[in-house]
Structure 1
Amino acid sequence: MDFRRIEIIFLVVFLSLDVFLLVSFHNSQEVISNSTSGVSSTLSDMKKRNISFGKLDKKTGTAYYLGSSPDNTLISNASKLRHQEYEYNQTSYKLISNLGEPIKVTSSNRKDKLDDFLKKESNILFGSEYSYAPQLSTSTEVVYAETGPLGPMYDKTGQIVFTVTDGKVVSYTQTYMKQLDILQEKQATKSERDVITDLYSSSEIPNNSKITYANLAYTKLLEAKGSTIYIPVWFISIHNKDSKVDTVKKVNAFTGNLLKTSSNGDEYSNE
């Protein structure tokens, strides 16, 4: 056997492999550099067009497809409630309550007062499992979203909605998901920075505007066979400085596609 020849062959193979790996690494660095340069250029262009925003997180994350089935947990525990009159909708699994003693609030203190109100189970069932959702709230409605270890749920199947009338919280509605099931292995999600720059590149962010909130939360994708499927969505709130109008863009955190709401309340891709 010609060992000298074998040595030469192995040497050539290894040298070729080294060259291939070196070229691949160089190309990947060029792609990263070009991508970073493109994002920086987009951000600079946004500033020139008077679009203001805070520090945008460029880190990607992971999330899941989730599923749940409705149940009657709320009405089963409703006897714990005090100083309110309630009824229960068996179709929507929604608790509807009128407070015996309305809560006086202002625009500046309503969150703090309702945070305290939620701490007592005689006021709100499972109140500690909800958190304030500024993007979903208005001057007449204060919304709290069910929030678990996987993140908040910006969906009507897991919310408390307080009604504000003449400076008083007079009533609320509540929905609750007792359990969320992970349907698939975790997948990568888009970063806050990538989602916002993509929205701008798609002409979804007007000139002279401000990004006021950017939250990642789960929301309903569809209902199938009595169960609800949820996906992670970026909720991007945009304030138009000219019209003074606030809008919320919803982006699929897995794909980056802009979502719209169908007539039955399900989300669907705009692309």
Structure 2
Amino acid sequence: MDFKRIELIFFCAFLSLNLFLLYTFRQSQVDQGPTSEIATAADIESRLKADKISFEGTFSAKIYDGYYLSAEATNFHDVVQDSYDKIENHRLSRTLPLASQITIDRQNLEKELTSFLIGDAPIVFGADYRLRELPSNEQNEIVLSQEFEGVPFNDETSELHFDVPDAEEKITLKGYTQTHLSEIQPLREKQEVVSENAAIKTLYMSNRIPSESKVVKTELAYTRLFTVRDKNVYIPAWFVWIETNKNNIQMERINAFTNSVISASIPEVKK
């Protein structure tokens, strides 16, 4: 085995990672400079109300901590071999055998679903997931995700989905689709992240919150920043759901380290 070549590969990978992080940090500092100065000139909640932007309560100024994380997409081929499983692009789709299907009460969904997952449920890595409550008009899907030190992942690489009927009070779980992350570990020491209040200021000053809209919900969660050599890199981000009309809810993301808007695309570094 050529150990020098292995060392060179790892050196190039981590050099690429650090250069990318440095670039995104400096770029965000340039982008957000004027915005931060303008935003502090007036109380953000008063400005939202002046633009007829509604919200509940107040936006917290509490400072949290978070990490740069790395993780790998779990290879389900290594852990399941059932004929009724479908595995594609690190996503497992499974129809539960009749004997394994359960019926839960919609009113006690979280309690009964948690008991199901941590018990003898035929859910791969079921105990790793926690229930999420995404602000949406859709009622036909239950979504769960993994978490790290109490902060959830809000990313398609770490989700468990159950399809459910629209209006029934009793929900029968017949199947699911899931993605899962393995080898989750910090890349750096824990760092402070911006407050909910600061994230809202950035969105407002970046014209991402339209007039006469409604801020439905905010959440601090991990999101994928980029992929390098089959390893995903995640950062904490503020997710903000904005209702622009009765049938349209848009979701915005703010990098909680740099307080800058995150673009929709996920780059892949190939080095």
Same fold (TM over 0.5): yes
Question: Identity rate of aligned residues, in percent?
Answer: 28
Aligned-residue CA RMSD in angstroms? 3.0
Cα distance change of structure 1 residues 108 and 213 upon mapping to structure 2, 3 Å threshold: farther
User: Are 2:135 and 2:217, in contact at CA under 8 Å, matched by a contact in 1?
Assistant: no
Aligned pairs (5 A) from 1:149-164: 149=149, 151-164=151-164
- Kept in 1, the 8 Å contact 2:53–2:211? The answer is yes
Q: Equivalent of 1:246, from 244, 249, 262?
A: 249
State the partner residue of 1:59: 62
Cα shift readout 1:247-269 (whole Å, capped 9, x = no counterpart) = 2111111112212322xxx279x
Aligned counterpart in structure 2 of residue 98 of structure 1, from 84, 95, 99: 95
In the alignment, structure 2 segments of 5+ residues that lack a partner are: 1-36
Larger radius of gyration: 1
C-alpha distance in 2 between matches for 1:106 and 1:207:
39
Letter of the 1:238 partner, please give it.
Answer: I
Q: Counterpart in 2 of 1:120?
A: 119
1:255 aligns with 2:252: no
**1-structure distance, mates of 2:202, 2:234:** 23
Cα offset, 1:239, TM superposition: 2.2
State the Cα deviation string for residues 123-151 of structure 1 (Å, max 9, x = none). Answer: 32332321122227742321101023152
Preserved contact between residue 65 and residue 183 of structure 1 (Cα < 8 Å): yes
**Change in 2 beyond 3 A, CA 1:122/1:103:** closer
User: What's 1:133 paired with?
Assistant: 132
Is it true that 1:44 corresponds to 2:41 in the alignment? no
1:70 is aligned to 73
Does 1:175 pair with 2:179?
yes
Q: Is the 8 A contact 2:141 2:161 kept in 1?
A: yes
**Structure 1 residues 119 and 150, CA gap change in structure 2 (3 angstroms):** closer
Are 1:59 and 1:191, in contact at CA under 8 Å, matched by a contact in 2?
yes
Distance in 1 (alpha carbons) for counterparts of 2:141 and 2:229: 32
Letter paired with 1:94: R
How many Å separate the matches in 2 of 1:267 and 1:199? 22
For residue 245 of structure 1, report the CA deviation from its aligned partner.
2.0
Q: Could you list the runs of 5+ residues in structure 1 that have no partner in the other structure?
A: 1-33
Distance in 2 between the 1:76 and 1:120 partners?
22
Contact 1:60/1:188 (<8 A) preserved: yes
Q: Aligned equivalents of 1:106 and 1:150: distance in 2?
A: 26
Structure 1 residue ranges (4+ consecutive) displaced by more than 6 angstroms after TM superposition: 34-37
CA-CA distance at 1:78 after TM superposition: 4.5
Matched, 1:207 2:211: yes
